Amino acid sequence: MIQLRSLCRSKPHFLRRTEIGFGGCCSQARSDALFPSASLTYLTYVTSGKRRSLAVALAEKGQVSDGDTHPLMRLPKRHLRKAQYASHSAILSGVLALVSSARAQAPATVNISVDATAAGTPLERVWTFHGYDEINYTTVPEGKVLLGDIAAAHTAPVHVRNHFLLNTGDGTPAMKWGSTNVYTEDASGNPVYSWSLTDGIMDTITGVGAFPFVEIGFMPQALSTHPTPYGNSSTTSLDGGCFYPPTDYTKWAGLIREWATHANGRYPNVAASWLWELWNEPDIGYWNGTFADYAKLYDYTESALHAAIPDAAFGGPAVAGAGGSFLTQFLQHCATGTNAVTGAVGTRLDLVTFHAKGSVAITGDHVEMDLGNQLRLHRAGFTAVAAFSQFKRTPIYITEADPDGCAACPASATPADAYRNTAAYGAYEISMMKHTIELESQVGVKLGGVLTWAFAFPGTPYFAGYRVLASNGISLPVFGAFKLLGRLSGTRLPLTSSGAHALSDIITNGVRDQPEVDGMATLEGAAIQVLVWNYHDDILTVPSLPVHLTLAIPASFGSSARVSHLRVDDTHGDAYTVWVSQGMPANPSAARVTALQQAMDPSLLVPDGTFAVAADGTVSVDFDLPRFGISLVTIQPAGAASDSGSTTLPARTGTSGCTCSAHGRGKGADNPLGMAMLALAASARRRGALVLVRRPFA
C-alpha cells in the first residue's frame, strides 16, 4: 500500500443516527482514510474534507490534474506540479511492491464442480425485490427508465416497495420524502380521497411488469395526532408529523379500505400478485407512538384491507432491529393478543417483515464490510419467527437488506460508503442472498424475499457515493451483478467449491481470512448457468484467483458444448472506473456519457467458444477471477444460440492493452513492472485528469 500523508485535515464527520443501525447512536467517519495503491478503482471519492487537501492527496497518486476534473478535485497549477512530482515517487515505490507480489507464490486454484445430470431442486429467486424511500422518484423520467431496467434484469416477477405512500403533499419529488395527497378533510371533517398521484405511481410500477410491495404509511396530516410541523426538519431527521398515530382509527381504516378497493378495481390480479405490510421501522423514529398504538393500527388496517381484498397477503412489522423486543411482541400479539377491532384472540398475519443492515467501516487503510453481521441479523429475525409455531411457515420478507443503513448519505459524508461505486457491493449482495437461503433451511422457516434498498437520486452528482443502482442513468457495478443474478432460472443444480465458506464460519468470523469463491448453478431447458463470485470483507488490491470449473453435462449435449462467459469486475461492466479514467467530470460530454453507457453492462470476458466434452462426460473451463469479480458461465449444446448476446456485448480489452484470453488476462498482465511503468509514463504525459493504474493480476 502507498501510505499517503497529505490527506484531508478537516475535522472528522459524524453521521447522525437515522437508519444506520438499530443499536448505535452515531458513526465517526475518518477523514484521514488511506487509499489502496496500484488500483484507483476504489476510494477515489470518499471524503468531504478540504477541497485542496483532498485534491493534493489524489494528485500525489497521479489521479488528478488541473484539467477537466470533478469540481471537488480542481487544483492550482503550483499544487498540481508538486503533487504530480510526488506521484512519480509514490508509483515507483508501488512498482517494487507489485514486482515482489508477482514473484510470490501463485495462489492456489479454486476447484468448482457442477453436476448438471442431477435432478436438482427448485430455485428460490428471493432477490427480485427492490425499494427506495422517495415514492415520487417513481414517475420522474430517470425513475421510469430504471424501473423498466430492473424489471428486465430478472427472470422472475419484481416487487417494488416505497415509503410515503399516504403522505400529504403535492407530489413534488424530494430526497427522503414523498407525498400523494390521498387524504384530506373538508370543513366539516369529512374524508376527501384523491387517487391521481397514487395511480400514476402504481401505473408506472405495473406498467414495466413489476408488482407493488405496498408499504402502508405514513399518516396523512389531517389524521395525525401531531399535524404540525408535518414535514421533517432535514433529510436526516425523523421528526415530522407523518410518523404519529391517527386521531381516529375508524377514519384511518376507511382510507385503507377505500384505496384498496380502488386499486383492486384498477389493476389485475391484485390479490394474487401484490404484497402488503404496515409501516416502516416502527421500533425507531418512524413511529412516535407506543407498541400498543402500533398493534391497534395493525388490527384496524388488517380488518379494512381484507374487507376490500379478502385474499391480500398482509403483514408486518418491518422493524429496524430483528433482534429487538418489538418483533417478538408483534408476533405474540398476532398469535394470542386481543384484537382491537373484533375483541377476539389474535390477528391475521400472512407475512412477516423485518430489516437488516450489515456494517462498513474504515479499518486501518481500507474499507471493511461485514457480511457476518448481516447474516447474524437475518438469523435473529428467522429465529424470532420460528419460536412461534403458528408462524414458522409464514413467509418472511426482509424488506430492507443492505450492507449499510443510510441510502441517502453520500460517501463525502461517510467515507466507508465509497464501496457503493465498486464491484464489492455486487459481490456482497450475491453472497448474502445465497447464504440467506442457507439460513432459511437451517432455521426451518419460509423465506419469501430479500429486498435491496437502492434506486437512484436524480439531480445528484455522478457517482457521489449514494446507495443506488444507477447514477444519472449510468448503471453501477452492483446493478450489473443483479443483471447476472437475475438471469438464473430453472432448477438449481448441486455445486461444490474448494473456495466456499461454511455458513457458520461466516456468521461467526465474517469473510476476513481467505476469500469466498463460491457459486450457484441452474439448468433451464438445455442451458446450464453457473454464477461464480469472489468475495471478501476487506476492499484491498490482491491477485486474482485461478478457477477451474468442471461440469458433468447431460448426454444430450453430444461431443461438444458452447460456452459463454459474462463478467462484472473493475474492467467489465464497471462504468465507474471509466468515469474515473475520464477525470471524474462533473458534467461529462455526450461522447463521455456514451462511453459510460457502453461500459456499464456485464460484458464478455472472452468470445464465445466451443469446448469438447471429455470421455467422462465433463466440460472444463478455466479463468481468473479478481476479488469482487462475478462470472456467469453459460453452457449449451454446441448448436444452440448464445445466451450472452455477443452481438450486443462485444469482448473488451483492458485499458492497459491486454486482451482477455480464456484466463482473463493477456501478456501485459504477466508483466506488472511493465504495466506500472506504462501507468507512470501516462501520468507524466497526460494533462487530462485521473490516471487509472490497473491491477497487475486482474
What's residue 107's pLDDT? 84
pLDDT confidence bin for 59, thresholds 50/70/90: very low
Q: Which amino acid is at 45?
A: Y
How many secondary structure helices (H) and strands (E) does the chain include?
15, 27
Rounded percentage of the chain residues whose pLDDT exceeds 90: 76
What's residue 514's pLDDT? 96
pLDDT confidence bin for 642, thresholds 50/70/90: low
Give per-residue pLDDT as tens, 363-377.
999 999 999 999 999
3-state secondary structure 219-272: CCHHHECCCCCCCCCCCCCCCCHHHCCECCHHHHHHHHHHHHHHHHHHCCCHHH
DSSP state of 641: P
pLDDT confidence bin for 91, thresholds 50/70/90: very low
Supply the pTM of this predicted model: 0.82
Give the lowest-confidence range in 363-377, 617-631, 680-694: 680-694
Average pLDDT of the chain, as a whole number: 82
With a cut of 70, say whether residue 503 has pLDDT above it.
yes
Q: Based on the number of CB atoms within 10 Å of its own CB, is 565 exposed (0-12), middle (13-18) or buried (19 or more)?
A: buried
Specify the pairing of strand 313-319 against strand 110-115.
Answer: unpaired
d(CA 410, CA 566) in angstroms, rounded, equals 30
> What is the average per-residue pLDDT within 261-279?
98
pLDDT confidence bin for 640, thresholds 50/70/90: confident
pLDDT confidence bin for 580, thresholds 50/70/90: very high
> What is the average per-residue pLDDT within 689-697?
25
Give the lowest-confidence range in 95-109, 550-564, 659-673: 659-673
d(CA 207, CA 201) in angstroms, rounded, equals 10
Question: Which domains are delineated in the chain?
Answer: 108-120+483-668 (2.60.40.1500), 124-143+157-473 (3.20.20.80)
Specify the pairing of strand 121-122 against strand 491-493.
Answer: antiparallel
- What does each C-alpha distance from 294 to 11, 30, 183, 314, 316 come to in angstroms? 41, 38, 20, 15, 10
With a cut of 50, say whether residue 303 has pLDDT above it.
yes
3-state secondary structure 310-377: CCCEEEEEEECCCCCHHHHHHHHHHHHCECCCCCCECCCCCEEEEEEECCEEEECCEEEECHHHHHHH
d(CA 195, CA 261) in angstroms, rounded, equals 11
d(CA 229, CA 258) in angstroms, rounded, equals 27
Give per-residue pLDDT as tens, 209-225.
999 999 999 999 999 99
d(CA 290, CA 659) in angstroms, rounded, equals 62
With a cut of 90, say whether residue 493 has pLDDT above it.
yes
Determine the distance from the C-alpha atom of residue 362 to the mean position of all C-alpha atoms in its chain, rounded to a whole number.
19
Q: Based on the number of CB atoms within 10 Å of its own CB, is 193 exposed (0-12), middle (13-18) or buried (19 or more)?
A: middle
d(CA 473, CA 111) in angstroms, rounded, equals 38
What's residue 361's pLDDT? 97
Give per-residue pLDDT as tens, 513-540.
999 999 999 999 999 999 999 999 999 9
Cis peptide before 650 (omega within 30 of 0): no
With a cut of 80, say whether residue 293 has pLDDT above it.
yes
Specify the pairing of strand 313-319 against strand 351-357.
Answer: parallel
- State whether the Cα torsion 408-411-412-414 is positive or negative: positive
d(CA 547, CA 111) in angstroms, rounded, equals 6
Q: CB-based contacts of 213: which residues, under 8 Å, 6+ apart?
A: 129, 131, 159, 160, 161, 274, 275, 276, 277, 397, 399, 451
pLDDT confidence bin for 639, thresholds 50/70/90: confident
> What is the average per-residue pLDDT within 165-181?
98
CB-side neighbour CA atoms (13 Å) of 467: 29
Give per-residue pLDDT as tens, 466-487.
999 999 999 999 999 999 999 9
d(CA 190, CA 179) in angstroms, rounded, equals 20
What's residue 57's pLDDT? 37
Give the lowest-confidence range in 71-85, 409-423, 528-542: 71-85
User: What count of other Cβ atoms lies within 10 Å of the Cβ of residue 265?
Assistant: 9
- Work out the angle at residue 448's Cα, subtended by the Cα atoms of residues 447 and 453, and round it to the nearest 5 degrees: 105
- What does each C-alpha distance from 571 to 338, 539, 568 come to in angstroms? 58, 16, 8
What's residue 220's pLDDT? 98
Cell of 599: 461500459
> What is the average per-residue pLDDT within 124-138?
98
pLDDT confidence bin for 643, thresholds 50/70/90: low
Q: Which amino acid is at 441?
A: S
> What is the average per-residue pLDDT within 24-34?
29
Cell of 668: 501485459
Q: Based on the number of CB atoms within 10 Å of its own CB, is 247 exposed (0-12), middle (13-18) or buried (19 or more)?
A: middle
Nearest to 486 by CA among 423, 433, 551, 428: 433
304 contacts 253 by C-beta, under 8 angstroms: yes
> What is the average per-residue pLDDT within 289-311?
98
Cell of 482: 443483479
Buried residues in 290-299 as b, exposed as e (16+ CB within 10 A): ebebbbbbbb
DSSP bridge pairs for 285: none
With a cut of 60, say whether residue 185 has pLDDT above it.
yes
With a cut of 50, say whether residue 460 has pLDDT above it.
yes
User: What count of other Cβ atoms lies within 10 Å of the Cβ of residue 680?
Assistant: 20
Helix (H), strand (E) at residue 380? helix 371-386
With a cut of 60, say whether residue 323 has pLDDT above it.
yes
With a cut of 80, say whether residue 606 has pLDDT above it.
yes
- State whether the Cα torsion 222-223-228-229 is positive or negative: negative
With a cut of 50, say whether residue 677 has pLDDT above it.
no
What's residue 31's pLDDT? 28
SS3 content of the chain, % helix, strand, coil (to 5): 35, 25, 45
Nearest to 311 by CA among 264, 362, 352: 264
3-state secondary structure 2-25: CCCCCCCCCCCEEEECCCCCCCCC
The residue among 1 and 528 whose pLDDT is bigger is: 528
